[in-house]
Structure 1
Amino acid sequence: MVGIISVIFWVGILVVGYTYVGYGIIIYILSKLRERTNVLSSAPDEQLPNVTLLIAAYNEADIIRKKIENTLELDYPENKLEIFFVTDGSTDQTPEIVKEYPAIQLFHSFERKGKIHAVNRVMKSVKTPIVIFCDANTDLNREAIKYIVRHYQDPTIGGVAGEKRILSKDKDNASGSGEGLYWKYESFLKKKDAEVYSIVGAAGELFSVRTELFEEPAENMIIEDFYLSMRITAKGYRFAYEPDAFAMETASASVKEEWKRKVRISAGGFQAMAKLSYLLNPFRYGILSFQYISHRVMRWTLAPLFLPIIFIANAWLAFYGVPFYQLTMVLQVLFYGLAFLGYLLRDKKIGIKGFFVPYYFAVMNLSVYFGLNRYLRGKQSVVWEKAKRATA
Structure 2
Amino acid sequence: MEVWFWISLTSLIYVYFGYLGFLKLISIVKKVRTCDTAVYNDCFPIVSVIVAAYNEEKSIGRRIENLLEQNYPKDKLEIIVASDGSTDRTVRIAKQFLGVKVLDFKENRGRAAIQNDGVKIAKGEVIVFTDSETEFEKNFLRRITEYFFYEKVGCVVGNLVYRTQRTSISESEGFYWKLEKKLRRLESDLGILSTATGACMAVRKNLWKDLAPIDDSDFTTPLDVILQGYKIVYAPDAIAYDI
Give TM-score, length-normalised by structure 1. Answer: 0.58
Structure-2 separation of matches of 1:168 and 1:41: 36
Aligned to 2:65: 69
Partner of 1:233: 226
Deviation of the 1:168 alpha carbon? 4.7
- Of structures 1 and 2, the one with the larger relative CO (CA 8 A, separation 6+) is 2
Equivalent runs, 1:98-137 vs 2, <5 Å: 98-137=94-133
Q: How does 1:353-368 map to 2 (within 5 A)?
A: none
1:86 offset after TM fit, Å? 0.5
Answer yes or no: is 1:162 the counterpart of 2:155. Answer: no
Letter in 2 for 1:112: N
* Contact 1:28–1:192 under 8 Å retained in 2: yes
Task: Indicate the RMSD between aligned Cα atoms, in angstroms.
Answer: 1.9
Does 2:35 align with 1:42? no
Larger Rg: 1
**CA displacement, residues 175-221 of structure 1 (integer Å, 9 cap, x when unaligned):** 32122222111111111110011322001110111101100111122
CA distance in 2, matches of 1:174, 1:234: 40
Of Structure 1 and Structure 2, the greater helix share is in 1
Give the strand-richer structure, 1 or 2: 2
Name the CA distance, whole Å, in 1 between partners of 2:41 and 2:227: 29
The alpha-carbon deviation at position 73 of structure 1 amounts to 0.5
Residue among 235, 239, 242 paired with 1:242: 235
Post-superposition shift, 1:30?
A: 1.4
Secondary structure at the aligned position of 1:60 is classed as coil
Aligned to 1:202: 196
Match of 1:147 among 143, 148, 160: 143
Q: 1:315 — aligned with what?
A: none
Shift of 1:152: 1.1
2:23 alignment counterpart: 27
Give the structure-2-normalised TM-score: 0.91
Shift of 1:43: 1.6
CA drift at 1:29 = 1.3
Determine helix, strand or coil for the equivalent of 1:124: helix
* 2:79 equivalent in structure 1: 83
3-state SS in 1 of match to 2:239: strand
Matches within 5 A, 1:1-392: 15-37=11-33, 38-44=36-42, 47-169=43-165, 172-221=166-215, 223-250=216-243
For the Cα contact (< 8 Å) 2:208–2:224, is it kept in 1? Answer: no
Post-superposition CA distance 1:60-109 (Å, at most 9, x none): 11111211111110110010111111012111100000000012111111
In structure 2, distance between residues paired with 1:168 and 1:42: 34
What's the secondary structure of 1:108's corresponding residue?
Answer: strand
User: Residues 180 and 41 from structure 1, CA distance in 2 versus in 1: closer, same or farther, beyond 3 angstroms?
Assistant: farther
Contact 1:42 1:146 in 2 (8 A): no
Identify the residue that residue 331 of structure 1 maps to in structure 2: none
Between the aligned residues of both structures, percent identity stands at: 28
| Contact 2:46–2:76, Cα closer than 8 Å, also in 1 | yes
